[in-house]
Each structure stands twice: as structure tokens, then as C-alpha cells.
């Protein structure tokens, strides 16, 4: 760190690229105004090797390494760099030969990614090696395939021709989305884990309900035993009458066996009601978590922070101290939803449960129109003070868009017919609604939606 501090006040005198290698050398003149500076200058050497970049700082006049960052070495191959050693540039690679017998012979002349594709192209796809090598040497183009930068396309349909000056923008154009995903990756994993637990719970509850329903026949078993009790002898283990085969406890009398079945029937009947309620709540939880998955991927930083607070309130996140503290939901805090404002009208939408509840139950008036995708997780959408047909269609399209759908059925209700579901934040029960089927989202609507979300 001390060496880096010295470099911050140094003057760049030259920038050079090592021939045939992804190695840059930035030469700097030391800051002579610093009385503690004892070196005349530095070389900052960047080895930009794929998946294994290294950085070295060489101090002059001694010309030795004073700092090494992200060091990768191979002692067996004689490649070893460390502090106080002399940095040695690799020997310049020769020109790629065109008369090789095997692709492996090209290893000293090619990066690993290019060699790997050459082997596949020749050995697996059957192309002529020498003709390929000639084409590679004569190529004046650059191609990108995933993360690989190549001078030959190898006839790969995914190869993208690119100019040298476009390389930077090509590899960083999606860095914002990648950085955002990294921030919410743990949150998404947590939601997925909770969703998996809830789905397993639902399966178990449905199995238990099926078993409870099967036990409802125990009422008939008990009645049959009473009906034919005169035919049951002590020690009998089975009653067969009228198509029934009813197991008996040989240690019990007929009335005792009948009463045992009546008790099992009563337990099964009570269990059905309890299990039915639990199944409804678990289905609500699954719907809720599916919605949280979409919100985690789509929201702005503010939306994500509010989503974390919501999940803390619901018990999915444990409260932490320090830098990563998640704040509890506050009744005083306003969880502002998002809006699209056009001359034809105004549409509001939420990007998490807290915003959905704020929008639907605090912002919207009773006569405003509520939209939600039917039988699918999604955002609350409100159309304010308008019955404009085009705005109604756009609100339906927005509900589908926020649910990652291109088409579908959307429920349309008066706000007064929408009630809170007490099981989870943001879930609702719609008492009365109409539906509208959207076959596709219009291109002009997509433009408006993307612009609105990007602006946020």
C-alpha cells in the first residue's frame, strides 16, 4: 500500500505493450517533491492473462520488484517472481507456422483459448489444419466468443466480429447488471431456499390431507361393526360384509373396535379442516416467494433495500449488526411506489410488497382501478382517475411485463373490491373482478416501460 501511495503522485512517462503478449508496462517518474522518496522511478507491469492477471511494481535505479499483486508462479517451469527479484519479460513468440502436423504443435504460438478452439475445429469438425493456420495468420479481424478474444471465427455462429476500440465497451456494457446481480445473489439464494422448503411443506400437507380423506371411511367401518356385531366372535381379526374388509383388533370387543374407528374418523375430520387452512397459507407463501424472486431481480437499489426489510419483517432474514444491517419495517417510513405519467393518465406500480401495500391501500382511492395477473405472482398496478381504454390496456400490459410475461389474463377490479391478505405483506384477496386477455405487449408500451424502469 505504501508503494501505491508513492505512485499516485508520480508522472507517467511511457506506456508500452510487450510484443506478442498481453503485458503492459507503465513507466513513471517518481514524485521528487516528496522528501521521503528514495527511488527515481517505477515500472507498473500489468500481465493481463485470462483468469490469472498479475501486477508488479519495479523500483529504480535498482530495477527490482518491490510489490507483487495476485501472484501466479510455476517453479517447475522456471517461472518464479517475488519481491527483490529481477522481472523478466517472456521471450517474444515467433510467427505462427502454417506447416504443422498436429494442432498441439501450435501451443507455443497461441493463447490457450485459441488453441482449444483450433483443436476442436480441426480434430472434431474435420477442417484442414494447414489451411486453417494460413487463414489465422492472414486474418485481420477480431472476434469475441463469450469471454474469448480471437483472431479467427472458427466458423462459430456465436462469433461476434468486433473492432479493437469496441473491446472495452463490449465487456463492460453489462457490468452494471452483473454488479447488481452480485449484490442480490445471496438474497435470491435465500428466497429460493425458502421457496424450496415451502414447496416441500405443501407436498407433505397435501399427502396428509389425502390420508385424512381416506380415513373418512372409518365412520362406515364403525357403523358396519355395530350392524354386524352379533356375528363378530372374540379373537376375530377381520369383518367381511357388503364388500367391506374391515380389520379388527382381536383384543377388543365389537363395540370397542367400532368406537376406535369413530375416534379415528373424528381425528381425520378435524385434521382436514386444519390441513386445508395450512395448505391455503402455504400456497399463499409460495405465491409470495415467487413474487419476491422477480422483485429481487428487477428492483432498483432502493427497492432491494425495502425488499430486505420486508423479508426481515416476514422472518426470512435474520437481523444483523454492522455494515449489513437490515432495518425493520417502519410505519413512519413511506415506501414510495413507482409511476408512469402520460398525458392520457397516470399508472402506479410496486416493486416489493411494502410498495404494493402503500400504493393500493394508502395512495389509491376506492374508485381507482386495480390490475394483477390472474393466477400468477406479480406487482400491484393502479390506474388513477381514468377509464381511458388505451390506458386500461397499458396497465394490463404493465402487469404482465412486471411478471415477465408476454401475454396472459389480467384481473381488473375497483380498488374498493381489493382486501389485504393477512398471511403475507403485499398479498391481497380480490372480491370482485373482470378479466382482460392480452395477446401481446405493444412495442410502444414496452418502450415506455423500459424507459420508466431505467429512469428509476
Q: How confident is the model over 394-398, as a mean pLDDT?
A: 96
pLDDT (0 to 100) of residue 86: 85
Query: Which of 149, 172, 195 is the endpoint of a domain?
Result: 172
Average pLDDT estimate for 368-395: 93
Q: What is the pLDDT of residues 37-69, one digit of tens each?
A: 788 899 999 887 765 678 889 999 988 888 887
Q: 345 in the Ramachandran plot: left (φ > 0), alpha (ψ -120 to 50) or beta?
A: left
Lowest mean pLDDT among 124-138, 152-166, 339-353: 152-166
User: In this structure, is residue 358 part of a structural domain?
Assistant: yes
CA distances from 436 to 82, 204, 372 (A): 69, 36, 11
- E runs forming strands in 30-141: 41-47, 54-60, 64-69
Once rounded to an integer, what is the mean pLDDT over residues 344-371?
94
| pLDDT above 60 (res 323) | no
- Top-ranked range on mean pLDDT: pick from 51-55, 77-81, 160-164, 436-440: 436-440
Tell me: do 149 and 189 sit in the same domain.
no
- Where residue 272 sits, what CATH number does that domain have? 1.10.287
Residue 89: its pLDDT value, please? 85
Instruction: Tell me what pLDDT residue 326 has.
Output: 58
Grid coordinates representing 403 are: 411478471
Spatial separation of the C-alpha atoms in residues 396 and 431, rounded to whole Å = 19
User: What pLDDT shows up at residue 389?
Assistant: 93
Residues linked to residue 69 through DSSP beta bridges, in sequence order: 55
CB proximity list for 146: less than 8 A, separation 6 or greater: 158
> What digits encode the pLDDT tens for the residues 203-230?
999 999 999 999 999 999 999 999 999 8
Number of domains in the chain: 4
- Three-state DSSP state, 385: coil
Please report the pLDDT score of residue 164 as a whole number: 78
Q: Which of 11-15, 97-101, 316-320 has the lowest mean pLDDT?
A: 316-320
CA distance linking residue 393 with residue 3, whole number of Å: 62
Residue 276 and residue 207 in one domain:
yes
**Separation between Cα atoms, residue 406 and residue 50, nearest integer Å:** 39
Q: Is the pLDDT reported for residue 73 higher than 70?
A: no
Strands 23-29 and 11-17, bridge-based pairing? antiparallel
> How large is the average pLDDT for residues 316-335?
63
Report the chain's mean pLDDT, rounded to a whole number.
86
| 206: enclosing H helix or E strand | helix 175-214
pLDDT at residue 370 in the model: 97
**Furthest-apart CA atoms within the chain: distance in Å:** 115
- pLDDT for residue 342: 92
pLDDT at 234 over 70: yes
Q: Which of 125, 153, 172 is the endpoint of a domain?
A: 172
Query: Contact 403/377 with Cβ under 8 angstroms?
Result: yes
| Whether 142 contacts 167, CB under 8 Å | yes
For residues 121 and 154, the answer to whether their CB atoms sit within 8 Å is: yes
Same domain, 112 and 135: yes
pLDDT in tens, 260-318: 999 999 999 999 999 999 999 999 899 899 988 888 878 777 888 888 888 888 888 87
Higher per-residue confidence, 393 vs 163: 393
pLDDT (0 to 100) of residue 328: 65
CB count within 10 Å of CB 382 equals 24
| 47 within 8 A of 26, measured Cβ to Cβ | no
Res 454 pLDDT > 50: yes
Report if residue 109 sits inside a domain: yes
Does pLDDT of 104 surpass 50? yes
Q: How far is CA 21 from CA 59, 119, 148, 327, in A?
A: 22, 21, 15, 50
Q: What is the dihedral of CA 294, 413, 279, 199, to 10 degrees?
A: -10
**What's the pLDDT score for residue 274?**
94
Q: What is the distance between the terminal CA atoms of the chain, rounded to a whole angstrom?
A: 38
Set of cell numbers at residue 46 = 500489468
Contact 398, 445 (CB under 8 A): yes
Residue 24 lies in a domain: yes
Report how far residue 91's alpha carbon sits from residue 94's, in angstroms, rounded to the nearest whole number.
9
Its domain, for residue 249, covers 177-298
User: Domain check: are 200 and 161 in the same one?
Assistant: no
pLDDT of residue 324: 52
Run of H or E residues at 412: strand 408-414
Rounded distance between C-alpha atoms, residue 111 and residue 120, angstroms: 15
Pairing of strands 41-47, 23-29: antiparallel
Is the link from the previous residue into 61 a cis peptide, with omega within 30 of 0?
Answer: yes
Max mean pLDDT among 59-73, 91-105, 123-137 falls in 123-137
Q: What percent of the chain has pLDDT over 70?
A: 89
Q: What is the pLDDT of residue 80?
A: 56
Is the pLDDT at 87 greater than 90? The verdict is no
The answer to whether residue 331 sits within a structural domain is: no
151 and 198 share one domain: no
pLDDT above 90 coverage of the chain, percent: 52
158 within some domain: yes
- Are 396 and 371 within 8 A, CB to CB? yes
DSSP letter, residue 42: E
Mean pLDDT of 365-382: 94
In the predicted structure, residue 76 carries a pLDDT above the cut 50: no
133: number of Cβ within 10 Å: 23
Among residues 380, 383, 329, 391, the alpha carbon closest in space to that of 350 is found at 380
Q: Are residues 136 and 182 in the same domain?
A: no
Q: Are 283 and 198 in contact (CB under 8 A)?
A: no
Q: Are residues 148 and 248 in the same domain?
A: no
What number is the average pLDDT over the span 26-33? Answer: 86
> What is the pLDDT at residue 172?
65
Where a domain ends, among 248, 276, 298?
298
C-alpha cell of residue 179: 454488479
- Report pTM: 0.54
Q: What pLDDT is recorded for position 322?
A: 42
pLDDT for position 165: 77
- 315 part of a folded domain: no
- pLDDT tens per residue across span 144-176: 887 788 889 999 998 989 887 777 777 665 565
Band of the pLDDT at 84, cuts 50, 70, 90?
A: confident
Residue 305 in any domain: the answer is no
Q: Using CA atoms, how far apart are residues 293 and 376, in angstroms rounded to an integer?
A: 13
The answer to whether 335 touches 310, Cβ cutoff 8 Å, is no
Distance CA 267, CA 218 (A): 10
In sequence order, the 6+-apart residues with CB closer than 8 A to the CB of 24 are 15, 16, 17, 18, 45, 46, 48
Nearest to 337 by CA among 310, 297, 372, 364: 364
Model confidence at 321: pLDDT above 50: no
**Any domain includes 423:** yes
Amino acid at each position: 500500500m505504501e508503494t501505491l501511495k508513492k505512485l499516485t503522485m508520480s508522472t507517467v512517462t511511457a506506456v508500452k505493450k510487450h510484443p506478442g503478449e498481453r503485458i503492459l508496462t507503465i513507466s513513471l517518474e517518481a514524485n521528487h517533491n516528496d522528501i521521503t522518496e528514495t527511488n527515481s522511478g517505477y515500472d507498473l507491469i500489468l500481465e493481463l492473462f485470462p483468469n490469472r492477471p498479475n501486477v508488479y511494481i519495479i523500483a529504480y535505479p535498482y530495477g527490482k520488484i518491490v510489490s507483487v499483486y495476485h501472484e501466479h508462479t510455476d517453479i517447475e517451469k522456471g517461472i518464479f517472481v517475488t519481491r527483490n527479484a529481477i522481472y523478466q519479460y517472456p521471450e517474444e513468440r515467433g510467427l505462427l507456422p502454417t506447416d504443422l502436423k498436429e494442432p498441439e504443435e501450435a501451443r507455443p504460438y497461441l493463447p490457450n483459448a485459441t488453441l482449444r478452439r483450433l483443436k476442436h475445429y480441426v480434430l472434431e469438425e474435420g477442417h484442414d489444419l494447414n489451411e486453417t493456420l494460413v487463414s489465422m495468420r492472414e486474418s485481420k479481424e477480431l472476434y469475441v466468443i463469450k469471454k474469448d478474444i480471437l483472431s479467427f471465427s472458427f466458423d462459430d455462429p456465436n462469433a461476434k466480429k468486433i473492432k479493437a476500440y469496441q473491446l472495452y465497451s463490449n465487456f463492460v456494457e453489462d457490468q452494471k447488471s452483473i454488479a447488481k446481480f452480485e449484490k442480490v445473489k445471496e438474497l435470491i439464494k435465500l428466497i429460493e431456499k425458502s421457496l424450496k422448503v415451502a414447496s416441500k411443506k405443501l407436498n407433505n400437507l397435501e399427502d396428509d390431507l389425502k390420508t385424512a380423506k381416506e380415513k373418512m371411511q372409518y365412520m362406515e367401518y364403525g357403523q358396519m361393526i355395530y350392524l354386524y356385531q352379533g356375528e363378530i366372535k372374540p379373537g376375530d381379526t377381520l369383518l367381511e360384509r357388503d364388500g367391506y374388509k374391515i380389520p379388527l383388533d382381536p383384543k377388543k370387543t365389537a363395540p370397542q373396535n367400532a368406537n376406535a374407528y369413530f375416534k379415528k374418523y373424528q381425528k381425520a375430520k378435524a385434521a382436514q379442516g386444519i390441513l386445508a387452512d395450512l395448505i391455503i397459507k402455504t400456497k399463499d407463501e409460495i405465491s409470495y416467494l415467487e413474487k419476491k424472486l422477480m422483485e429481487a431481480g428487477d428492483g432498483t437499489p432502493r427497492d432491494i433495500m425495502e425488499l430486505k426489510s420486508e423479508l426481515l419483517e416476514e422472518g426470512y432474514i435474520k437481523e444483523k449488526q454492522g455494515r449489513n444491517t437490515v432495518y425493520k419495517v417502519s410505519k413512519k417510513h413511506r415506501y414510495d411506489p413507482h409511476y408512469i405519467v402520460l398525458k392520457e393518465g397516470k399508472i402506479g406500480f410496486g416493486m416489493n410488497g411494502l410498495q404494493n401495500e402503500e400504493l393500493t391501500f394508502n395512495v389509491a382511492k376506492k374508485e381507482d382501478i386495480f390490475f394483477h395477473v390472474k393466477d400468477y405472482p406479480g406487482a400491484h398496478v393502479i390506474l388513477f382517475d381514468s377509464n381511458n381504454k388505451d390506458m386500461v390496456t397499458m396497465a394490463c400490459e404493465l402487469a404482465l411485463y412486471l411478471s415477465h410475461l408476454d401475454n396472459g389474463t389480467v384481473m381488473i377490479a375497483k380498488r374498493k373490491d381489493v382486501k389485504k391478505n393477512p398471511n403475507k405483506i403485499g398479498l391481497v384477496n380480490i372480491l370482485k373482478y373482470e378479466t382482460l386477455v392480452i395477446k401481446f405487449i405493444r412495442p410502444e408500451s414496452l418502450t415506455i416501460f423500459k424507459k420508466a424502469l431505467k429512469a428509476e
